[in-house]
Amino acid sequence: MVLVEFIENIGDTVVTHSIRTYDFLLFLFKCIGQIFSLNSYSSSSIDFLIKQIYVSSIKHLFSFVFLSLFLGSIFIVVAISFAMNFNLLEQIAELLVLFVFNEFSPFFTTIFFILTYSLSSQEEIQNIKKEKSSLFNEIYVPKILNAIFMVPLLSLLCASIMISSGYIVSSFYLNIDLMTYKNMILNSINLSNIFVLLLKGSIFGFISIFIPVYFGHKLEKNSLGLTQAIIRILIIILSMLLLSELLSILIIY
C-alpha cells in the first residue's frame, strides 16, 4: 500500500508540473506573439509604456547612477588589485572591459531593476486585472517591452560610469594619465563587448519582468501572502538568471 501511494503521489506530481509547464509555455508564446503584433500598440498601451519607463528607470535614475559609481569603483579596485597581485597589469584594460561590459553591468542592472520595479508588478497586475479587458495589449506587452529595452540601456550607462570611474582608481594606483587610460580602454573595447552587454541586458530584462507578470496573471489576489509571493518570485527569477549566466559563459568563453 505504501508503494502504491508513493507511485500515485509521483504520478500526481508529474501531471501537476506538466500542466504548469504547458501553461507557462503557452503564456510565454502568447506574450511573444503579442509583442510582434501591430494590434498591441494602441494609444493606451503606448501611454502605459511611457509611464513604465518613468517608473522603472527615470524615477530611480539618481540612485542607479550613485550605486553604479559606488559599486563600480569598489569592483574596479578589486580588479586592479587582482591584476597587480597576479602580474596582469598589461591586460588590465582588457580585464576591465571584459568584466564590466560582459558580466557586472548587465547583472547589477537587472538586480536593481528587479528590486525597484519588477517585484511590484505582480501586485500591480492583480489590482488592475479586473479593470482591464485587454491585459496582454495594454499591460503585459508594455511592461515586457520596457524591460527588454531599458535594462540593456541602463546596463550600458552603468558600464560607462564604471569605466569612467576606473580612471580615478587607476590614476591613484598606477599613476596613469587620462589620455593613456582613454586609449587603453578604446583599444580594448570592441563591438562584441557591446553586443554581449545589450543581448544579456535584453534577456535578463525579459526574465526579470516575465515571471512577475505570469504570476500576477495566474494567481488570484491574496491567494498567497505578499511576502511569500515576492520571495517565491525572487527565487525563480534569480534561478533563471543564474542559469542564463551559466549558459552565456559556456557559449561566450
Burial pattern 85-97, b for ≥16 Cβ within 10 A else e, equals eeeeeeebbbbbb
Both 46 and 31 in one domain: the answer is no
Find the mean pLDDT for residues 108-136.
Answer: 79
CA–CA separation, 226 vs 238, rounded Å?
18
| pLDDT given for residue 205 in this prediction | 94
- Examine the pLDDT at 2 and tell me if it is beyond 50: no
CA distances from 74 to 11, 24, 77, 106, 208 (A): 51, 39, 5, 17, 25
Q: Which of 75-84, 102-111, 198-207 has the lowest mean pLDDT?
A: 75-84
| pLDDT given for residue 220 in this prediction | 56
Question: Which has more confidence, 144 or 95?
Answer: 144
CA distances from 62 to 67, 158, 209 (A): 9, 12, 22
Q: How many domains does the chain have?
A: 2
- Examine the pLDDT at 23 and tell me if it is beyond 50: yes
Both 129 and 93 in one domain: the answer is yes
Both 24 and 57 in one domain: the answer is no
Percent of the chain at pLDDT exceeding 70: 85
Structure confidence by residue, pLDDT tens digits, 206-236: 999 999 988 888 765 545 566 777 888 889 8
Both 164 and 223 in one domain: the answer is yes
Both 96 and 10 in one domain: the answer is no
Both 118 and 178 in one domain: the answer is yes
Both 68 and 25 in one domain: the answer is no
- Global confidence as pTM: 0.85
Percent of the chain at pLDDT exceeding 90: 27
Both 101 and 168 in one domain: the answer is yes
Both 134 and 49 in one domain: the answer is yes
- Report which residue type is found at 159: A
Write out the residue range of the structural domain in which residue 8 sits: 1-36
- Examine the pLDDT at 4 and tell me if it is beyond 80: no
| pLDDT given for residue 150 in this prediction | 95
CA–CA separation, 169 vs 131, rounded Å?
52
- Examine the pLDDT at 126 and tell me if it is beyond 80: no
Find the mean pLDDT for residues 132-159.
Answer: 86
Structure confidence by residue, pLDDT tens digits, 86-117: 776 667 778 788 888 888 899 999 999 999 99
Both 58 and 118 in one domain: the answer is yes
Both 116 and 184 in one domain: the answer is yes
Both 159 and 239 in one domain: the answer is yes
CA–CA separation, 114 vs 179, rounded Å?
37
| Per-residue pLDDT band at 197 (split at 50, 70, 90) | very high
- Examine the pLDDT at 64 and tell me if it is beyond 90: yes
